[in-house]
Amino acid sequence: MQIKINNPKCCSEKPVIQLTAGEKLCKNHFNEYFENKVFRTIRQFDLLGKEENLGVAISGGKDSLTVLYLLNKLSKQNPKIKVTAIAIDEGIEGYRDKTLITAKKFCNENNIRLNVFSYKEEFGLTLDEMLKILDVKPCSICGVFRRYLLNKKSRELKFTKLATGHNLDDECQSILMNQMKNNIEASARLGPKVGVISDDKFAQRIKPLYLCTEKEVTTYAFINSLLDNFNECPNAIHSFRAHVRDMLNDMEKKFSGTKYSIVNSFLETLPMLKEKFRGEIIQICSKCGEPSANDSCRACVYLEKLRKSVMH
Ligand code: SF4
Ligand code: ZN
């Protein structure tokens, strides 16, 4: 499952980007190159069936709006692909409130149905409030609750698949983070298509931007005016991911093609990883009934800690 990068051709118009392989592309040729790459990824990794009730997880950021924009475009050409957006409001003041305004505006303008679910309504507390109570890494607790809600709500909304805006840089970071944390089992759950459709407890996830670099997605979102401003979560700066991202960007600058090489070699080993961890038994959380690796799922463990801390 190797990544193939075609050499795109361009004209004499003003370039908007220089690709990893060195080519400079104008707006029209870059749009053509980028959209072809996404639609080829969908075909190459068999991300979509003939008929889908597709959920698209959006944050209001460039990656998720790009994937929603392109999948919506695809659904207009193919009425059997139905697209609905889903957003999670973690409750991060000064950040998520702003990106959700962008998400709502985008969905209104493009006539896409949007469902928003919040930590406050679902768990009783915003992420900001949780972080005042528990001394934990923001992204760990945030990620656990977001995955939990996305999985549960995707099932309730009867999505056949859930598309996310993960790009090549995100995947590269996750691969290295799992290596650095000796968590190879988590890498078995990476790749452009995750989960099995026949499992009614897990929503199958797809990543149509899998082969697009962060730079390409940012350029596409910007030149097509998909959003007005770029926001970053205030908690991101403290994350392990941010360190890995900076390191990878530094390597890419010095050794062009590093990110493609990492993802390419990972794709070679992914079938073996999936085979090795295929037999892992997924239990059902005894408290909430959601899938879990242990008797209680990680969301319920955090909720219990929050309850105990509030009571003390
Ligand atoms: Fe949550 Fe961390 Fe992402 Fe902020 S950066 S939204 S805290 S996972
Ligand atoms: Zn649970």
Q: 266-300 pLDDT, tens per residue?
A: 999 999 998 888 766 577 899 998 888 788 999 99
Across the chain, mean pLDDT equals 91
* pLDDT at residue 31, rounded to an integer: 95
* pLDDT at residue 94, rounded to an integer: 94
Centre of ligand 1 to C-alpha 303, Å, is: 18
SS3 track for 241-266: HHHHHHHHHHHHHHCCCHHHHHHHHH
pLDDT confidence band for 14 (50 / 70 / 90):
confident
Across the range 173-192, mean pLDDT stands at: 94
Across the range 155-175, mean pLDDT stands at: 96
* pLDDT at residue 71, rounded to an integer: 98
**Residues whose beta carbon lies within 6 Å of some atom of ligand 1:** 90, 138-139, 142-143, 233, 235-236, 239
Decide if pLDDT at 76 tops 70.
Answer: yes
* pLDDT at residue 293, rounded to an integer: 79
Q: Which chain residues have CB less than 5 Å from ligand 2, an ion?
A: 285, 287-288, 290, 297, 300
Minimal CA–CA distance to 63: which of 97, 108, 99?
99
Centre of ligand 1 to C-alpha 99, Å, is: 13
Decide if pLDDT at 193 tops 90.
Answer: yes
Q: Could you give the domains of the chain? A: 45-279 (3.40.50.620), 281-312 (no CATH)
CA separation for the pair 201, 143 (Å, rounded): 18
